[in-house]
Structure 1
Amino acid sequence: MVIALLQLPDFLGLSGVALGDSTLHNLALIGQALPTLSVAEISVGLVTLAAR
Structure 2
Amino acid sequence: MAMELFGARTKGYALGIRGYQFDEYEEKLSPKAQVNLEKTIEFIAPLLRKWSFPGG
Q: Which has the higher helix share?
A: 1
TM-score tier, shorter chain, comes to 0.3 to 0.5
TM-score by structure 1 length? 0.33
TM-score, normalized by length of structure 2?
0.32
